């Protein structure tokens, strides 16, 4: 466990890069043991439809991380003109392929394709993104199987730094299916008393101010002001916003928040690296579960 005392008036920085590296090393060790026991390595199928530039960067990083951990990745790059039936057919093939332990369909999908329909077609036992309604439902019912990578990464980061979650008050800002909602379920599972905020929340500053744990997942640069943060709170900034200057910033006003928080994640180098690490971890877990029958 990494324990950092708050130095003076400045928050301890939660080093997602370092913790992610540790998770990836752990996965690589498990991959070696798995390969020795089963004569194959875990496999992740990565489907990217069309040519979204941002998606290409994410996909490249995911494949590189797989290779470093010893996980085999299988790439599928159907063109933007792929039909719904063709894409569903591909998912079905991957569901049946015994070399594939995880299936990832990179979002967003081009217009005209219903992301929900495609994601729902993925075998829940191979849904390493954790977006399938079955996996969301299992998390909601306190029996998680494959957990959405970003929220799961936040929980792992908190654990690594010894940040207590049980008995705390937490505020999650953002209620999307892929980050905010599952984040709230994760924190609830961890024993926190959770408030979820969204665009219609009436008094966001007060909701943030009474939280011991703040998770920001909005997609608006530095929207959460440092002055709102309670003294000593742990702040997890999921937001990734590219400014016109090219600089990447989070959803939290980092410098001002650091003066009040006890712990804070930087952007970049905080939650982002954890997301990919947890994807590898989920793929490894899926392979082990499938091998155990
Ligand atoms: P979405 O756009 O799907 O969701 C944004 C959420 O923020 C919605 O629930 C929305 O409310 C809420 N919101 C918007 N405006 C306000 C406001 N003024 N006050 C309070 N809440 C507001 O985004 P995602 O969840 O997909 O992503 C959020 C951010 O996280 C983005 O910056 C994204 O790039 C980043 N991200 C980072 C990852 C990582 O690995 N670090 C992984 C995934 C995402 P409503 O529901 O009412 O519309």
> Which is catalytic among the residues 15, 30, 48, 62?
62
Question: What is the architecture of the domain spanning 39-122?
Answer: 3-Layer(aba) Sandwich (3.40)
**Tens-digit pLDDT profile for residues 106-158:** 999 999 999 999 999 999 999 999 999 999 999 999 999 999 999 999 999 99
- Among the atoms of ligand 1, which is closest to the Cα of residue 276? 40
Look at residue 7 and tell me whether its pLDDT is greater than 90: no
**Tens-digit pLDDT profile for residues 22-65:** 999 999 999 999 999 999 999 999 999 999 998 999 999 999 99
Q: What count of other Cβ atoms lies within 10 Å of the Cβ of residue 200?
A: 6
220 is a catalytic site residue: no
* Ligand 1 lined by 22 (C-beta under 6 Å): no
Q: Where are the beta strands (DSSP E) in 20-174?
A: 43-47, 72-76, 102-105, 169-173
Q: Can you tell me the mean pLDDT for 210-220?
A: 98
Angle at 8 between CA 270 and CA 204, to 5 degrees: 55
User: Residue 264 belongs to what H/E stretch?
Assistant: strand 263-264
Written as six digits, the tokens of 109 are 């999908």
Q: How far, in Å, is the centroid of ligand 1 from the Cα of 280?
A: 23
User: Residue 248 belongs to what H/E stretch?
Assistant: strand 248-249
Classify strands 213-216 and 234-237 as parallel, antiparallel or unpaired.
parallel
User: Residue 213 belongs to what H/E stretch?
Assistant: strand 213-216
114 is a catalytic site residue: no
* Ligand 1 lined by 255 (C-beta under 6 Å): no
**Tens-digit pLDDT profile for residues 223-270:** 999 999 999 999 999 999 999 999 999 999 999 999 999 999 999 999
Q: How far, in Å, is the centroid of ligand 1 from the Cα of 178?
A: 9
Cα distance between residue 93 and residue 89, in whole Å: 6
Cα distance between residue 247 and residue 258, in whole Å: 19
Cα distance between residue 212 and residue 290, in whole Å: 38
- In which band, very low, low, confident or very high, does the pLDDT at 4 lie, cut at 50, 70 and 90? very low
Token pair 């009040």 is found at 260
Among protein residues, the one whose CA lies closest to atom 41 of ligand 1: 272
Cα distance between residue 210 and residue 170, in whole Å: 8
Same-fold call for 39-122 versus 148-273: yes
85 is a catalytic site residue: no
Angle at 115 between CA 185 and CA 140, to 5 degrees: 15
Cα distance between residue 25 and residue 14, in whole Å: 19
* Ligand 1 lined by 218 (C-beta under 6 Å): yes
| Rg of the chain taking only CA atoms, in angstroms | 19
> Which is catalytic among the residues 15, 30, 106, 251?
106
Q: How far, in Å, is the centroid of ligand 1 from the Cα of 64?
A: 26
The DSSP line for 60-90 is HHHHHHHHHHT-EEEEE---TT--HHHHHHH
From 139, 150, 124, 157, select the one nearest 276 (Cα to Cα). Answer: 150
Angle between helices 133-140 and 180-189 (to 10 degrees): 30
Q: What is the pLDDT of residue 8?
A: 65
Q: How far, in Å, is the centroid of ligand 1 from the Cα of 220?
A: 8
Instruction: Choose the residue to mutate in 172, 179, 207 for probing ligand 1, maximizing ligand atoms within 8 Å of C-beta.
Output: 179
Report the chain's mean pLDDT, rounded to a whole number. Answer: 96
CATH class label, 148-273: alpha beta
Look at residue 9 and tell me whether its pLDDT is greater than 90: no
* Ligand 1 lined by 239 (C-beta under 6 Å): yes
Among protein residues, the one whose CA lies closest to atom 14 of ligand 1: 199
Domain boundaries, the chain: 39-122, 148-273
Look at residue 2 and tell me whether its pLDDT is greater than 50: no
Q: What is the pLDDT of residue 182?
A: 98
Percent of the chain with pLDDT over 90: 96
Instruction: Choose the residue to mutate in 104, 197, 199 for probing ligand 1, maximizing ligand atoms within 8 Å of C-beta.
Output: 199
C-alpha distances in angstroms, 218 versus 107, 175, 181, 212, 215?
A: 17, 8, 12, 19, 9
Burial class (CB in 10 A: 0-12, 13-18, 19+), 245: exposed
Look at residue 184 and tell me whether its pLDDT is greater than 60: yes
Cα distance between residue 252 and residue 120, in whole Å: 33
């Amino acid at each position: 466990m990494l324990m950092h005392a708050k130095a003076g008036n400045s928050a301890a920085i939660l080093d997602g890069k370092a913790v992610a590296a540790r998770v990836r090393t752990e996965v690589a060790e498990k991959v070696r043991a798995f390969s020795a026991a089963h004569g194959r390595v875990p496999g992740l199928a990565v489907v990217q439809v069309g040519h979204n530039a941002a998606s290409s960067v994410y996909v490249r990083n995911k494949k590189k991380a797989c290779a470093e951990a010893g996980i085999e990745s299988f790439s599928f790059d159907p063109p933007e003109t792929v039909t719904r039936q063709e894409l569903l057919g591909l998912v079905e093939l991957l569901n049946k392929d015994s070399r594939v332990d995880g299936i990832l369909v990179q979002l967003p999908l081009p217009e005209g394709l219903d992301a929900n329909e495609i994601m729902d077609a993925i075998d829940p036992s191979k849904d390493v993104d954790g977006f399938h309604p079955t996996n969301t439902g299992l998390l909601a019912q306190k029996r998680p199987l494959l957990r959405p990578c970003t929220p799961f990464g936040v929980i792992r980061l908190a654990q690594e730094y010894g940040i207590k979650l049980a008995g705390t008050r937490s505020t999650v800002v953002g209620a999307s299916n892929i980050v905010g909602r599952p984040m709230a379920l994760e924190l609830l599972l961890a024993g926190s008393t959770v408030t979820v905020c969204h665009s219609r929340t009436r008094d966001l500053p007060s909701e943030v101010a009474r939280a011991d744990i703040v998770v920001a997942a909005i997609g608006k640069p530095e929207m959460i002001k440092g002055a709102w943060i309670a003294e000593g709170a742990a702040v997890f900034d999921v937001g990734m916003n590219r400014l016109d200057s090219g600089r990447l910033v989070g959803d939290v006003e980092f410098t001002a928040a650091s003066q009040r928080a006890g712990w804070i994640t930087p952007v970049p180098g905080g939650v982002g690296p954890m997301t990919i690490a947890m994807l590898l971890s989920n793929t490894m877990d899926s392979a082990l579960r499938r091998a155990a029958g």
